[in-house]
Chain A
Amino acid sequence: SAVISQKPSRDICQRGTSLTIQCQVDSQVTMMFWYRQQPGQSLTLIATANQGSEATYESGFVIDKFPISRPNLTFSTLTVSNMSPEDSSIYLCSVVYNQGYTFGSGTRLTVV
């Protein structure tokens, strides 16, 4: 399976600021996704990061709040913009590689 390096692993941020999360994969992958896991809840797909084109967002998520970059087949970033305490969650990137789904270790974000 592919190995994902995600950083930062955790951060505490002031409301109104933005945080960019990075996801680096050790193999070229076509499909890369960003998920959110709110405290005590399941994982919700934010968007599919498409290489060379704009990300595809799920219902309830918008580009202005969660801009995503995908400059190549091994790297993506997710920015959480203009943060509020409600954005406190774990954010995870994941990839499909050889029909297997691999997750990064996640970024635990606390907004104060």
Chain B
Amino acid sequence: GNSVTQMEGPVTLSEEAFLTINCTYTATGYPSLFWYVQYPGEGLQLLLKATKADDKGSNKGFEATYRKETTSFHLEKGSVQVSDSAVYFCALIVYNQGGKLIFGQGTELSVKP
């Protein structure tokens, strides 16, 4: 079946540090991949996405590249800010298999000034 595995949190970084949150997936078919972010007390927001191999999604300084050979979609940011503190969810969807979005367990990021 389809599944997503993320690195465990919480991740604590100092402001301006480099961020990597690992995400690997298992899927039958050709998934689209997503990163969602949930800020404290708020709903889920789409951060970025990639729909095919070697695509790079980017938004707000975050990037992730769809790597089919390693079945990965790691989230990176060169210089984090305190305002990036949130929970990040990696997810996949295979549209021709019912369109269900499958989430990883989430990784909490805490950025200290």
Contacts and interface: CB of A to CB of B under 8 A. Distances in A.
B43 A33 contact: no
Nearest to B106: A42
B105 A41 contact: yes
Q: Which residue, of B34, B44, B46, B102, has the highest number of chain A Cβ atoms within 10 A?
A: B44
Interface in B52-73: none
A96 B100 CA distance: 9
Contacts, number: 42
A94 interface: yes
B99 A103 contact: no
B34 A101 contact: yes
Interface in A7-56: 31, 33, 41-45, 48
Given A101-B34, A103-B44, A104-B43, A96 B99 contact: yes
Mostly helix, strand, loop or mixed at chain A's interface?
A: strand
Contacts of B45: 103
Interface residues of B, number: 20
Contacts of B86: none
A100 B101 contact: no
Contact of A100 (B44, B46, B106): B46
28 contacts: A33-B101, A41-B105, A41-B106, A42-B103, A42-B104, A42-B105, A42-B106, A43-B44, A43-B101, A45-B100, A45-B101, A48-B98, A48-B99, A48-B100, A92-B44, A94-B101, A96-B99, A101-B34, A101-B46, A101-B93, A101-B101, A102-B46, A103-B43, A103-B44, A103-B45, A104-B43, A105-B43, A106-B43
Interface of A: 31, 33, 41-45, 48, 92, 94, 96, 99-106
Interface of B: 32, 34, 42-46, 51, 89, 93, 95, 98-106
